[in-house]
Structure 1
Amino acid sequence: MNDIGIFFAFVGGILSFFSPCVFPLLPAYITHLTGGKIENSRLKLNRSTLYFRSVGFIVGFSLIFIVLGASASFIGKILMNYRVIIMQIAGLLIIIFGLQMAGFLKFKFLMKEKRIYTGRQSKNMFSSILLGMAFASGWSPCVGLALSSILLLASSSETLSEGIFLLATYSLGMAIPFLIITIVISYSLKVMIRINKSLSKLAFINGVLMVMLGFLVLSGQMQKISAWLSAYSLFEF
């Protein structure tokens, strides 16, 4: 398994969660999941219900991301004879996405928003899973750029399982901070105010990482570094 790719997928998932398009909407998603409401800078809700349905939400968006990863890998395997060209195109696109994320480029067509939102409130685990799937299916531009980069990486992976694992790792990167912040803001929203001030910096960091990833893929150094790391790795996926 490509260790560098796994690292970028995991960090990309974390930074996607803290993107300006997703993080500020977290209280709205939480109240929609639980039927709670915001009063005096606090969320009034049943915490056990929140934790239970948050897991459902995570399962929902993870399913969509993993299916996308499998699809990208499958297409990549079909075009295996053109793998070098695909990697070069993927690297170039990832660099462009990274520059857009970091704010160096301002392509409006990359920031078009496609958001699927159901007006129905989540009432159980199943509806929470559906809400997570809707979120992943209609991701906002910030997540779309990072996710597209990981999907491009998955399309150039050698096996189908690698592509699936990359997107599972990306999902895990989003899931961990989602659970942690969900628990924290169920007690107080003040932490959101503090984090909101740093969102632009986090977006810049995400963009820089994506540019680095793009150059590694474009130059072919990604495989060389991964081969070197695999030689010193005790376990290989």
Structure 2
Amino acid sequence: MNDVGIVFALTAGVLSFFSPCVFPLLPAYITHLTGGKIEDSKLEVNQTKLYLRSIGFIIGFSIIFVALGASASLIGKLLLDYQDIIMQIAGLLIIILGLQMAGLLNFKFLMKEKRIHSERKIKNIFSSVVLGMAFASGWTPCVGLALSSILLLAGSSETLTQGIVLLSAYSLGMAIPFFIISIVISYSLKTMRKINKYLSKLAFINGMVMVMLGFLVLSGQMQKISAWLSAYSFFQL
């Protein structure tokens, strides 16, 4: 599952960042992180603070996501005797979450959200790590659906390491665009306005990616594809 799962987790992380629940809030997070302000269609921030505190924020949400992945994998490992059943249930749930994300289903209980707001002033990189952890602990509809799908995949993985790797890939998928866009919008908010126009389409794409992942897990094709890739890599050595 590792090779294919990592690609899906990385993709889900990138698309989660560009979800309507996260992306539009980026300027607010950046101003809160750095103490900057929006003026003349750009963020007035100290660039050193922006770099360091963005990294701290990324470390914070990565810690939570990876810990969740490890926990899901550990539970899955304890239920190893029921691995086939767990994978089928996980695949079905991932398909449902993907359809919900794409807007093709509308289960209201899946759209409940829990956001953690921090009124605490960010003074250093350690404070930004705490804010990142608070962000990851907040359960928004968009991130929650994608993250739940990857956690289900982690829970059906064979080893604890696989679950950690999957959620590390998911975190990296969110971290890369977060860092890049944070720097870009400190010079101009025009890029952000342009991307905002495509958020609904990106949410649909994210949902379809999850549906595809769900069908692969449900049908057992995920393991076969990984086995083929592993065999191919072996013969290339």
Task: Output the TM-score relative to the length of structure 1.
Answer: 0.97
Instruction: Please state how far the C-alpha of 1:121 moved relative to its aligned partner.
Output: 2.1
Q: What is the match of residue 95 of structure 1?
A: 95
Q: What is the match of residue 82 of structure 1?
A: 82
Q: Matched residues in 2 for 1:65 and 1:233: separation?
A: 29
Runs of 4+ in structure 1 over 4 Å off: none
Secondary structure at 1:232 match in 2: helix
Instruction: Please state how far the C-alpha of 1:209 moved relative to its aligned partner.
Output: 0.5
| Residue range with higher mean Cα deviation, 226-235 or 8-17 | 226-235
Instruction: Please state how far the C-alpha of 1:117 moved relative to its aligned partner.
Output: 1.2
Q: Matched residues in 1 for 2:51 and 2:102: separation?
A: 33
Secondary structure at 2:233 match in 1: coil
Q: Are positions 1:117 and 2:108 aligned together?
A: no
Q: What is the match of residue 180 of structure 1?
A: 180
- Identity between Structure 1 and Structure 2 (%): 78
Instruction: Please state how far the C-alpha of 1:45 moved relative to its aligned partner.
Output: 1.1
Instruction: Please state how far the C-alpha of 1:139 moved relative to its aligned partner.
Output: 3.1
Secondary structure at 2:212 match in 1: helix
Q: Matched residues in 1 for 2:181 and 2:125: separation?
A: 20
Secondary structure at 1:233 match in 2: helix
Gaps of 5+ in 1: none
Q: What is the match of residue 30 of structure 1?
A: 30
Q: Matched residues in 2 for 1:131 and 1:139: separation?
A: 14
Per-residue deviation, residues 18-41 of structure 1 (Å, max 9, x unmatched): 000000000000000000011121
Q: Matched residues in 2 for 1:197 and 1:218: separation?
A: 34
Q: Matched residues in 2 for 1:233 and 1:132: separation?
A: 37
Q: What is the match of residue 4 of structure 2?
A: 4
Instruction: Please state how far the C-alpha of 1:232 moved relative to its aligned partner.
Output: 1.2
Task: Output the TM-score relative to the length of structure 2.
Answer: 0.97
Secondary structure at 1:74 match in 2: helix
Instruction: Please state how far the C-alpha of 1:234 moved relative to its aligned partner.
Output: 5.2
Q: What is the match of residue 219 of structure 2?
A: 219
Per-residue deviation, residues 96-116 of structure 1 (Å, max 9, x unmatched): 000001110011110101111
Q: Matched residues in 1 for 2:198 and 2:234: separation?
A: 37
Secondary structure at 1:71 match in 2: helix
Q: Matched residues in 2 for 1:50 and 1:93: separation?
A: 38
Q: Matched residues in 1 for 2:139 and 2:17: separation?
A: 11
Q: What is the match of residue 104 of structure 2?
A: 104
Gaps of 5+ in 2: none
Residue-pair matches, total:
235
Q: Matched residues in 1 for 2:117 and 2:181: separation?
A: 22
